[in-house]
A = this chain, B = another copy of it.
Amino acid sequence: MFNDGIPMTIGAAPTGFTLHDAVTASLPIGIFDSGVGGLTVAVAIRRAMPAEHLLYLGDLARQPYGTKSPATVTRYAVKAAEFLVARGIKALVVACNTASAVALDAIARRFPHLPLLGVVEAGAAGAAAASASGRIVVAATEGTCRSGAYERAIGLRRPEAGVTCVPCPLFVALAEEGLTDGPIVESVARHYLGPLFGAGAAADCLVLGCTHFPLLAPTLGRIAGPGVRLVDCAEATSALLATALAGCPAPAGGTGGLTLIATDAPDRFARIATRLFPALGPVAEVELADL
Contacts and interface: CB of A to CB of B under 8 A. Distances in A.
A265 interface: yes
A168 to B, nearest CB: 9
Interface in A70-120: 72
Interface in A121-179: 142, 169-170, 172-174, 176-177, 179
Nearest to A188: B184
Contacts of A173: 169-170, 172-173
Contact of A72 (B67, B69, B265): B265
B170 A68 contact: no
A191 interface: yes
A289 interface: no
Contact of A187 (B63, B68, B187): B187
Contacts of A170: 170, 173-174, 177, 179
Copies in the complex: 2
Contacts of A264: 68-69, 72
Nearest to A71: B264
A12 to B, nearest CB: 25
A187 B177 contact: no
A68 B60 contact: yes
Nearest to A190: B184
Given A61-B62, A72-B265, A142-B268, 11 more contacts: A60-B68, A61-B68, A61-B72, A68-B265, A69-B264, A69-B265, A69-B268, A170-B177, A172-B173, A173-B173, A184-B184
Interface of A: 60-64, 67-69, 72, 142, 169-170, 172-174, 176-177, 179, 183-184, 187-188, 191, 264-265, 268
